[in-house]
Structure 1
Amino acid sequence: MKNLKSSLNSLQEKARERTVKTQDIEYDLETLVKRINNNTIKLNPDYQRRHRWPNDVSSRLIESLLLNIPIPIVFISQDIDVDDELLDRTPRYTVIDGQQRLTAIRDFMTGSLILSGLEILDELNGAALSDLPPFLTRRLDDRTVRCLRIDSTVDPQVKYDIFERLNTGSVKLEPQELRNAVVRGAFNDLIKKLSTYSDFRQLLQISDKELDDNPKIRKMEDVELVLRYFALRNGGYKEPRKLGFKDFLTEKMTEFNGFSSEDIFNMGEDFKFCISAIRKFLGPYAFSKHKVENGVSVKRMSTFNAAVYDAILIAFSDKNNVSNLEEKKYTSGGFNFKNISILTDKQRLSLFEDDDFFDAVSGSVNDLGKIRTRINKVIEDLS
């Protein structure tokens, strides 16, 4: 506490910057649904998360409304970057916390949610809004949802902090879902698009038959892996940083959103080139982890490993200086892979016999020392 007096100015400045102004707003369900449908309350699942509430969870929320059980406050923001006024000059709001709840309410009130999994009002299982008896529809007419409006802030890191602290839903937002909500822009759109690239999905072992159920997709881990590539490439993994890795990725995403449309397009082509080359020369299990003895895999420990992904992908990109690779051309027949340095499958397997490399692809995937070690090890093999 001795230094508190000397840091008073800094403390006051932080308190001013981080203080959030709020306002209570209460909507009846009919008004709430109208505002969602006319986009004055933005409820786009792509904006926040890839919708993950199962039908029975949504149904239990409706049951709570019917039983007059309080539900959590919904947090909304009148953000500068989305506050385009409509013709009637009504401002738009975006949802910070409560998107799943509002989606469930909207779906039930518009007839698309059929109740299931109810234990108290189990007689309503299989019922839609139109099936409810009059005394229950009157209860819904009387229910309101309390919203807390948070004033906008231009600092994406502050926004991220607000989202994280208010992330109180029954299914927690993952780090990339939070970034998707607060660090919007052209680069964010790019990495979501790149996450659907067919070669990338094959390397991540994502089958087209399980897109709706794959946890990498539902939690936006696939999108975060694309972001990792751009954050770590071109020597980014060597950068000294005071931030934790989670905040480092958020900072990089904010930076890339400010790039020109041409630069962002070229970044996408760079990523596809690297992924296509690795898929072509190392096969669909290029990012798998192995236990290797005498140059032979005695056990494949995983079909995809994020640390192995870092090591091979970033080393390939940086060693070949992909952003400036003159030989890289895309035609209707695919990329031109002339004059590139890439591991052979034998070299890839031999990496796992190196104790330092094996340790660097084990444990925490975000440990800075391990990230540097594993990428440098692969670069050495490419030399």
Structure 2
Amino acid sequence: MVTLKHNLDELQQIAKERTVKTQTIEYDLETLVKKIQKNVIKLNPEYQRKHRWSDANSSRLIESLILNIPIPFIYISQDVDVDEEVDTESSRFSVIDGQQRLTAIFNFFQNEYQLEGLEVLDKLNGSYYKDLPSFLIRRLEERSIRCLRIDSTVDPQVKYDIFERLNSGSVKLESQELRNATCRGPFKDLVKKLVCNQDFLTACKLTPNSKRVKKMEDEELILRFFAINYKNGYSDYKGGFKQFLTNKMSEFNELDEKSLKGMEKDFVQTFRSIATTDLQYPFAKYRITTKGLKKMSDFNASVFDAVTHLFMLRNKKGEQLDSNTVINMFTDPDFFTACEGSVNDVSKLNFRIEKARGLV
């Protein structure tokens, strides 16, 4: 209690600074869609997840809106004061919670998907927005949604905190989605750039609309590459792989521009080298059989660790690899074991990397 009294002034100051100022407003759907269209409301701020709802989930929301079933608040952040002049490309509001709902609404109004899986209004299944009878279009356009608007003076960090807290009890965020929300800095910007590298996408068998990309597995793989390879970071790993990646991401965000440029160069050269081989599935997992090596999967993250490390080290020595060197790693039963089961076990990760280093 004595300590609490001594810290009273500090507590009062923090409470004052971190108190969130909000205002409840209602927008009809027609207005919301127009604001999104004009970029007044930004649907995908950097801390948000990518749109992951299926058309069936989106359709159920549209059905609920038509039937006037209550839906949860949308939380939006006022990023620019209403009296400030901004260029036409700048948004005034961003979505903190409710991105999936707003995206589903906006996409339907843009005729990007047809309704499916409806049970109450099953006769609307197969209909696009443009196909709806005029009375239902009016009903949708005039349906309002309550929004909680967070004041423009609130510190940006507070907005991120709100995002985390709101999402903690809803659909579980993937690990990289949480890192995307909380680990901000120049390294995260580099990841956003490298995620478009075609050699990387081809090697990892990643396509734009795949579930893996929607879960940000593409960004996590880039983080994984650097966490293990940059300055032999794998040697820092003592257990708890998710936290290891999070710690590395925070650490990388503190690096200077020169270091980040070097990391980018290593990444680009590594995947360019992989692309120049005849390896159709460079990160595939193989098993020894009586007829030789048999491919078990097209992509395996533990194989990704070893193969990228091997190519990066060979690159630094100015040497090219052939496909047999990579695939033949699986002729070692211990290497296969290190790529199955609890693959993030410290000893298994170290074995995979040391195996790769032994081939340099």
TM-score normalized by the length of structure 2: 0.76
2:221 is the counterpart of 1:225: yes
CA contact (8 A) 2:74 2:145 kept: no
Taking the aligned partners of 1:340 and 1:156, their CA distance within structure 2 comes to 48
Name the counterpart of 2:353: 375
Stretches of 4+ aligned residues off by more than 6 angstroms = 82-85, 88-91
Matches of 2:159 and 2:123, distance apart in 1: 47
Equivalent AA in structure 1 for residue 115 of structure 2: L
Q: How many residues align?
A: 348
Alignment of 1:1-383 (within 5 A): 21=20, 23=22, 25-29=24-28, 30-44=30-44, 48-77=48-77, 86-87=84-85, 92-109=92-109, 114-125=114-125, 126-128=127-129, 131-134=132-135, 137-138=138-139, 140-147=141-148, 149=150, 152=155, 154=157, 161-162=164-165, 164-166=167-169, 168-169=170-171, 172-206=172-206, 211-233=207-229, 234-239=231-236, 244-281=240-277, 283-292=279-288, 297-317=292-312, 319=313, 325=316, 339-340=318-319, 342=321, 345-346=324-325, 348-355=327-334, 357-382=335-360
**1:238 CA drift (Å):** 1.1
The question of whether the paired residues in 1 share the 8 Å contact of 2:191 and 2:219 is answered with: yes
Residue deviations 1:74-105 (CA, integer Å, cap 9, x gap): 334457xx999851799834323321101122
String of CA shifts for 1:15-70, please: whole Å, max 9, x gaps. Answer: x79x8747353322244334433434321387634433233322221110111212
Residue 91 to residue 107, structure 1, CA distance change in 2 (3 Å): closer
CA distance in 1, matches of 2:252, 2:129: 45
In the alignment, the residues of structure 1 paired with residue 137 and residue 56 of structure 2 have an alpha-carbon distance, to the nearest angstrom, of 19
Q: Secondary structure at the match of 1:298?
A: strand
Q: Tell me the amino acid that sits aligned with residue 141 of structure 1.
A: E
CA distance in 2, matches of 1:157, 1:231: 24
2-side partners of 1:352 and 1:161: how far apart? 45
CA–CA distance in 1 between the matches of 2:299 and 2:140? 50
Shift of 1:269: 1.9
Whole-angstrom CA distance in 1 between matches of 2:77 and 2:344:
31
Deviation by residue 1:254-311 (Cα, 9 ceiling, x = unmatched)? 34344444543332221121122234346233322112369x8432222221101112
Q: CA deviation at 1:374?
A: 1.5
Contact 2:285 2:300 in 1 (8 A): yes
Determine the C-alpha separation between the residues in 2 that align with 1:68 and 1:198.
45
Q: How many angstroms apart in 2 are the aligned matches of 1:51 and 1:62?
A: 16
Q: Distance in 2 between matches of 1:107 and 1:347?
A: 44
- 1:148: Cα distance to partner? 6.5
**TM-score under structure 1 length normalisation:** 0.72
Give, in angstroms, the shift of residue 225 of structure 1: 0.7
Corresponding residue SS for 1:381: coil
Deviation at 1:139, TM superposition (A): 6.4
What is the root-mean-square deviation of aligned Cα atoms in Å? Answer: 4.2
Task: Answer yes or no: is the 8 Å Cα contact 1:153–1:159 preserved in 2.
Answer: no
Identical amino acids, percent of aligned pairs = 39
